[in-house]
Every structure is written in C-alpha cells, then in structure tokens.
Amino acid sequence: MSIDTNNHIIVAENLSKQYNGKTVVNNLNLTVNKGEIFGLLGPNGAGKSTVILMLLGLTEPTSGSIKVAGFNSTREPIRVKRMTGYLPERLGFYEDMTARQNLIYTAELNSIPSSQIEKKIDDVLLIVGLDKNKNQLVNQFSQGMKKRLGIADVLIKDPQLAILDEPTEGLDIKIANQ
C-alpha cells in the first residue's frame, strides 16, 4: 500500500517492532493528516511509546515503514527531529537553571534567531501559565509545573508536528483541561 503524503504528517505502513522476540507493535497502519489532533490510547505496555520512538527515528522498526512529513524516520531522523516537538513521559530539564534558561538552551539548539528568543519564551510561558515563574529554578517546580514547562519547550520551536507522551500526567484538572 502506497499513500500520497502531500496531505499527511504521519504515514505508518505495516509497522512492527519486536524486542527479544516479543512483538510490541504488530502491523500498524496509520495515517494522520496535517492539522489533525490524534491520540494513541491503550493500557501500559500496549506499544504507544514504542510507536512514538519509531516516529522520531529513536528506534528502528523490525518491519514496515514510517514517514513524518514525507521523510523516512529511520533513514532521515535528523530531518524528522528538526520539524518535530517531543514531550517525553519522563522530562529532563537542567534543574539548576531557570525556566527561561532552559528555554533559551532549547531555542539555541533549534537555531531560533536570538532576536526572537525572548519574545518566544514570553509567549510560550504565558500559554502554559508559567509566565510569572520564568526566572524560578526548575528544581523548585512541582511535577505539574515541569510538565507545563515541557509543553512550552515543545511549543518554542513552532514544530510542524508535536508529539506528547502522557501530556496531562501530573497536571491538576484545571490546567489539564486548558
């Protein structure tokens, strides 16, 4: 099956993954359109995070193929990562740096022009409700605040595709609903 990727951001064809002989993703066929919000739902161990890792080119499928915006995630992982924002289930920020400093680091890694960085930081922190905490050390943040900072970290690069693994875990109900 060959699918035209002009209108699709994700195309997975016959995607499978095995670890030590155990199948964790079995013959997945998936098409996600540009601009669409899509969720992978299932119990722990169902393979959701493995699909995400294959999307990002962080693990290779045992068989099948996966493309993001027309780029093969296995053969062109750097191109895929440049256009993708990823919020992992387990966050990794520099705890001895402020929210602002962490976002500057992300912005610089993603070649955001220095003239735009402060405005982008202010914008994304306002969106996630951390605008008053931008100069606070991350080690003083609650888990929910760290999760919101993670969402800001994804948004700052204005990705074509945002992949959020367990995005509402650790958030209070009011914030999760936003």
pLDDT at 147: 92
pLDDT at 173: 59
Q: Which long-range contacts (CB under 8 A, 24 or more apart) does 66-70 make?
A: 66/10, 66/11, 66/12, 66/13, 66/15, 67/5, 67/10, 67/11, 67/12, 68/9, 68/10, 68/161, 69/5, 69/9, 69/160, 69/161, 70/5
Taking 60 as the threshold, does the pLDDT of residue 78 lie above it? Answer: yes
CATH number of 8-87: 3.40.50.300
| pLDDT band, very low/low/confident/very high, at 166 (cuts 50, 70, 90) | confident
What are the structural domain ranges in the chain?
8-87, 99-158
Radius of gyration of the chain (CA): 17
Between these two residues, 168 and 31, which has the higher pLDDT value?
31
Q: What is the mean pLDDT of the chain?
A: 90
Q: What is the pLDDT of residues 143-163, one digit of tens each?
A: 999 999 999 999 999 999 999
Q: What is the pLDDT of residues 81-91, one digit of tens each?
A: 889 999 888 88
